[in-house]
Chain A
């Protein structure tokens, strides 16, 4: 990766206001952000031309759940290594566990600190890079 190439983050979130806010912050943090407001659109992007480096996904989506998306991503060898961060209002331990058990890299509950989010994204990207090299 060159310094010029920004890492691509996919944000799947149906609440437009929130996904916009996240996009803004991430862009301000020097990421390239793609958004989808439903699961299928999100999958399209994942499987599309653009290679996504990290996925941030809401669990509660209008069409399919975040869990399903995680499953699909993980089942595809091309995409299985992409770090996957859940973003959800479900804050129960149970939910977190469930989320992580599917193979998610991280889980953050709303409301969250964007700063924290960026911190974790950078972390997981570094890890992913490290492992692939």
Chain B
């Protein structure tokens, strides 16, 4: 054989398909099966048309491309040497080698060939069925069953194929096809080399005369004969054998091809057949077949009652020729006329025809008719025929279905992404696809694998798998069990992961084979594992988060629960796929809890927005916890809810803090109301948003209406407003605290002094101020008073000092006089010169005494002042002689006064006695008289008038002096009306406070009038009692 792509398995192919051809793109033969070569004498390198004619294909269709893409791959080849053998099979395109493979089976067409057998009877029957129902799916006679069998039981009269036998020149069996194998029950192995008669013949077999045989063969003529054969099980059957000598190009016989056809039935029928319509018919009828007869002259059918029944008609219902014509499917009728009728002749009077008939129920059914044209005229035109009708609807439909299914299946299998392997019941490969081959790195084409025994290959291929022995045993177990196994994971040694399905195929109870389907899921497993790992990773994270997180499906079933949500592993796992109601039931708690949850879940679903609610619950330890529960729907790309995340956040602390803050706020509020100070909080512009009652009270305003807003700055008078505005700005800019006092006059009209403190509150929204105010008016007033008092004190002290100063000053003069006079006396005594100077020492002494008195008076005044201050004055009111008092006064001090003038006294005789304190009154009068003298220097001496005026004693001192200086008058007034304090009027030593005091003590009054340059008159009036 020429070297072809299939060279490495040439033998195998040859064994399987001895009638194969391989054609190149030019339709040149580059390979042929042994037997084909023997039969057709083909040689490599010739064009196919050299040897064969294609039936059913016009010449222009015979191109490589046309043949590759031909839908119907069936072909019939006539061997060009007038050999009645035809090759029927189909073409496969071998993509790998770009060749066409033809697998064929020999078939006989005995009519119209040159070597017509003389024995009509032994004329073979065209295997019309073979032509029509040639298995387009698979190579004919492929080893191993086609898994969808047509339901035929292996009989010699298998409609789908002839039994074929090839013998060599010696007459020994060289090859038998499957049908033959099936028919006789022997395998090729068993019969090869034997003589056919050894295999076939039995008790009743006729021995065909060898001479006849030899003769025919010698003549290179096919002949046929009928005989009885026996199967392996000694089942007898009639067969017609058609023997065709196989010659090579030299016309040497190389062998014999015999086609055997089971004619048992036919034989039976023939026996029963009598050249009479009725007998035939009734015989056949008796046999239970639908029978018909046709008169070609009359062109009339006659149908048996079974016939009618077969198509649904009653025995007595009319069904005639016309009906038949209408009932037969037009296509089938056409086919009869086209294909069958032309081939009928007296030599070949029998035919079978598959056709559809429209039954009474309106449905077409498939039937087969086997007919025999029994009578012919002299022109060899048919006169009469008779036949049987058999309902083959089911099997036909099935086979049609099977064919189409098979076709579908074939292309399906080819196109599957999975690797598919179909084995027959003997584990021989029926079909597999490229994907399968590539999965297992089988270097062969799928087509080439057909027929291979998988049980061997299983053993050989086990090392492809990670665990070889396990693979083998598992596979075997599956095969033994013959039960569907899906999604079995197989690990390959190279790390790939395959998914395998095993599907057993049964027809009824009969095991026909099984399907293995493999998918490489390495990647998806990889992805799957990655996904799992990822999922686990995220689940871990979710478990770590210290909040309870769950994921619900759209139907509110738990899809994921993290550890925080449910700590108990068992419970958590149980909950997956369940909902809250299940939980409640399990925990035997009220469903209200689940209702609540469902409510917000539904809200979330409906609104497609997160929903939250606050749950309050009591923990195991009795403490109250608050949890914000959120249902958060996840919206996917299609805007649908993918799932819902539910989580809870413990906000107990937060709530506690809020509550605490509320309490604090309340406290602060209360505090604000209690304190005496006014407190407000206001915006930068002064708008008050918090105030207390004290504020209102201090500012003397009432609480604003609910929509009113007070403005602090607007309440203030202008200067205060500016002051506070400025202050508040400083607070804002420096962050310091501003304090101060502003004046304010409220509704009451009283001017108040308000102490304030401004502090700033800085928030994001801007600055606000807190202002504290308190009314310090009283304090201020007190201070003022105090200041006044202090001023007075100061003045007093100053005055006192001055008084002392002046008094000491005043004392000096009398002292100086005493001193001088003393020294004069001294000198007189020393010098004894009194006479010289006409000095009278008595005068000196007298002067001294007087000055002592003066001094004493001054000191007494001082003492009096002190006593007045300390309140230690003791009065001794006595009845005294007024005249004597006044005279004594004069004598002491004013006769003369230091400036030489003498006081004039005018005494009212009516006023003789008076109740008074001598010392005090003396002081008073002395003061006034002294002043009179002082302010009238150089003028007439002052006058002291003592008189009684009604109930009062009046002491009036008048001088003719300059009048009291205005300054002193003012001071006089002020000291006068100040009343309580001591204070010597500067420069004058008036000591009117003493006068005032003394007079007051006598329940009297002191008044004066003074005129500049005229004089002053002081009047003391004392009530007599």
Binding site for B on A (CB under 8 A): 14-18, 21-22, 24-25, 27-29, 37-38, 62, 89-91, 109-115
Contact B817 A21 (CB under 8 A): yes
**B850 cross-chain contacts in A, Cβ below 8 A:** 17
Are B899 and A111 in contact, with the CB atoms below 8 A? no
Query: Max chain B CB contacts within 10 Å: which of A15, A17, A22, A91?
Result: A17
Q: How far is the CB of B830 from chain A (nearest CB, A)?
A: 10
Using known A-B contacts A17-B898, A21-B847, A37-B899, determine if residue A114 contacts B831 with beta carbons closer than 8 Å: no
Q: How far is the CA of A74 from the CA of B821 in the complex (A)?
A: 32
The residues of B that contact A114 with a CB separation of less than 8 Å are 819-820, 823-824
Known: A15-B898, A28-B833, A89-B813. A21 touches B937 (CB 8 A): no
In whole angstroms, what is the CA distance A119 to B817 when docked? 18
Q: Are the CB atoms of B898 and A110 closer together than 8 Å?
A: no
Known: A18-B816, A110-B813. A28 touches B837 (CB 8 A): yes
B contact face: mostly helix, strand, loop, or mixed: helix
Contact B809 A89 (CB under 8 A): yes
A113-B823, A114-B824 known; A27+B817 contact, CB < 8 A: no
Q: Is the CB of B827 within 8 A of A109?
A: no
Contact of A17 (CB < 8 Å), options: B809, B817, B937:
B817
Measured between alpha carbons, how far is A22 from B844 in the docked complex, in Å? 12
Which A residues touch B900, using CB under 8 A? 16
**Residues of chain B lying within 8 A (CB to CB) of residue A91:** 812
* A-B Cβ contacts below 8 A, count: 77
Query: Taking CB as reference atom, which chain B residue is nearest A114?
Result: B823
| Known A62-B937, A111-B819: A25·B827 in contact at CB below 8 Å | yes
User: Does B877 sit at the interface, judged by CB under 8 A?
Assistant: no
A25-B823, A112-B819, A114-B820 in contact; A18/B833 too (CB < 8 A)? Answer: no
B851 on the A face (CB < 8 A): yes
25 CB-based A-B contacts, threshold 8 Å: A14-B937, A15-B813, A15-B817, A16-B899, A17-B850, A18-B813, A18-B817, A18-B898, A21-B817, A21-B824, A21-B844, A24-B824, A24-B837, A24-B839, A25-B820, A27-B837, A28-B824, A28-B833, A28-B837, A38-B937, A89-B812, A110-B813, A111-B815, A111-B819, A113-B823
Which residue of B is nearest A22, CB measured?
A: B820
* 6 A-B pairs with the lowest CB-CB distances in the bound complex, closest first: A21-B820, A110-B816, A111-B815, A89-B812, A114-B823, A110-B812
- Other A-B contacts than A24-B839, A111-B818, 7 sampled, CB-CB below 8 A, are A21-B820, A28-B839, A111-B815, A112-B819, A113-B823, A114-B824, A115-B823
User: How far, in whole Å, are A27 and B824 apart by their CA atoms in the complex?
Assistant: 10
CB < 8 Å: which of A16, A25, A111 contacts B812? A111
In Å, the complex CA distance between A14 and B817 comes to 12
CA distance A91 to B811 in the complex (A): 12
Complex: A81 Cα to B831 Cα, angstroms = 33
A90 to B828, CA, bound (A): 30
Q: Is the CB of B816 within 8 A of A16?
A: no
Q: In B281-336, which residues have CB < 8 Å from any A CB?
A: none
CA gap between A37 and B898 in the complex, in Å: 11
Output the least CB separation between A9 and chain B (Å).
14
Per the bound structure, the CA–CA distance linking A15 and B809 in Å amounts to: 13
**Count of residues in B whose CB is under 8 Å from the partner chain:** 29
- Residue from the list B812, B821, B828, B938 in contact with A21, Cβ < 8 A: B821
- List chain B residues, Cβ under 8 A from A14: 899, 937
Contacts of A17 in B (CB 8 A): 817, 847, 850-851, 898
Q: Which residue of B lies closest to A116 (CB)?
A: B823
Interface centre among A25, A29, A110, A112 (most CB of B within 10 A): A110
| CA of A76 to CA of B828, assembled, Å | 39
Name the CB-closest residue of B to A62. B937
Chain B interface (Cβ < 8 Å from any Cβ of A): 809-810, 812-813, 815-821, 823-824, 827-828, 831, 833, 837, 839, 844, 847, 850-851, 896, 898-900, 937-938
Residues of A within 8 A of B847 (CB): 17, 21
Closest to B987 in A: A60
B820 touches A18 (CB 8 A): yes
Closest to B819 in A: A111
A25 touches B824 (CB 8 A): yes
Q: How far is the CB of B962 from chain A (nearest CB, A)?
A: 10
A114→B819 CA distance, assembly (Å) = 7
Closest residue to B815 on the A side, CB-wise? A111
With the chains together, A27 CA to B838 CA distance in Å?
12
Closest residue of chain B to A91 (Cβ to Cβ) is: B812
CB distance from A114 to the nearest CB of B (A): 4
A44, chain B: closest CB distance, angstroms:
14
Residue of A nearest to B822 (CB): A114
Residues in A with CB closer than 8 Å to B938 are 38, 62
Min C-beta distance of A27 to chain B, whole Å: 7
Q: Across the interface, which residues of B come within 8 angstroms of A27, CB to CB?
A: 837
Assembled-state Cα–Cα distance A32/B810 (Å): 28
B837: A residues at CB distance < 8 A: 24, 27-28
Q: What residues of B have a CB within 8 angstroms of the CB of A18 in the complex? A: 813, 816-817, 820, 898
Contacts of B898 in A (CB 8 A): 15-18
Least CB distance from A5 to B in Å reads 19
- Contact between A90 and B809 (Cβ–Cβ < 8 Å)? yes
Q: How many Å lie between the Cα of A21 and that of B815 in the bound state? A: 12
Write out the residue numbers on chain B whose beta carbons fall within 8 Å of the beta carbon of A111.
812, 815-816, 818-819
Asked if A112 meets B899 with Cβ closer than 8 Å, knowing A17-B851, A28-B833, A28-B837, the reply is no
A123 to chain B, nearest CB (A): 18
Distance (Å) between the CB of A25 and the closest chain B CB?
A: 5
Taken together as a complex, chains A and B put the C-alpha atoms of A44 and B948 apart, in Å, by: 47
CA distance A29 to B896 in the complex (A): 27
Looking at the assembled complex, report how far the CB atom of B825 sits from the nearest CB atom of chain A, in whole angstroms.
10
Shortest distance in angstroms between B826's beta carbon and chain A's nearest beta carbon?
8
Residues of chain B contacted by A89 (CB below 8 angstroms) = 809-810, 812-813, 816
Distance, CA A37 to CA B837, complexed state (A)? 23
Residues in A whose Cβ lies below 8 Å from that of B827:
25, 28-29
Say how far A66's CB is from chain B's closest CB, in angstroms.
14
Q: How far is the CB of A107 from chain B (nearest CB, A)?
A: 14
Residues of A within 8 A of B844 (CB): 21
Chain A residue nearest to B820 (CB atoms) is A21
A115 and B819 alpha carbons, distance in the complex (Å): 10
Give A116 Cβ to nearest chain B Cβ, in Å. Answer: 9
Most buried by A among B813, B820, B837, B937: B820
Say whether, besides A14-B937, A25-B823, A110 and B815 are in contact (CB < 8 Å).
Answer: yes
**Interface-central residue, B816, B833, B899, by most chain A CB under 10 Å:** B816
Please measure, in the bound complex, the distance between the C-alpha atom of A25 and the C-alpha atom of B815, giving whole angstroms: 16
Q: How far is the CA of A104 from the CA of B474 in the complex (A)?
A: 152
Once the chains are docked, how many angstroms separate the CA of A82 from the CA of B305? 200
A68 to chain B, nearest CB (A): 16
- Taken together as a complex, chains A and B put the C-alpha atoms of A82 and B993 apart, in Å, by 45
Cα(A89)–Cα(B820), bound, Å:
14
Q: Whole-angstrom distance between the alpha carbons of A33 and B823 in the complex?
A: 17
Contact B899 A15 (CB under 8 A): yes
Chain B neighbourhood of A15, CB < 8 A: 813, 817, 898-899
Task: Return chain A residues, CB-CB under 8 Å to B815.
Answer: 110-111
On chain A, the residues within 8 Å of B812 by CB distance are 89, 91, 109-111
Chain A residues whose C-beta falls within 8 Å of the C-beta of B810 in the assembled complex: 89
Nearest Cβ distance between residue B971 and chain A, in whole angstroms? 19
* Distance of A17 Cα from B817 Cα, bound (Å): 7
Tell me which residues across on chain B come within 8 A of A16, comparing CB atoms. 896, 898-900
Chain B hits for A112, CB < 8 A: 816, 819
Closest residue of chain A to B836 (Cβ to Cβ) is A28
Q: Which residues of B contact A25 (CB under 8 A)?
A: 820, 823-824, 827
Measured between C-beta atoms, what is the minimum distance from A42 to chain B in Å?
14
User: Could you say which of B813, B815, B839, B851 has the most chain A C-beta atoms within 10 Å of its C-beta?
Assistant: B813
Q: Which residue of A lies closest to B901 (CB)?
A: A16
Which of A21, A27, A62: most chain B CB closer than 10 A?
A21
Residues on B with beta carbons closer than 8 Å to the beta carbon of A29? 827
Chain A residue with Cβ nearest B808: A89
Distance in angstroms from B122 CB to nearest chain A CB is 186
Cα distance A17–B824 when bound, in Å? 13
Alpha-carbon distance between A111 and B839 when the two chains are bound, in angstroms:
22
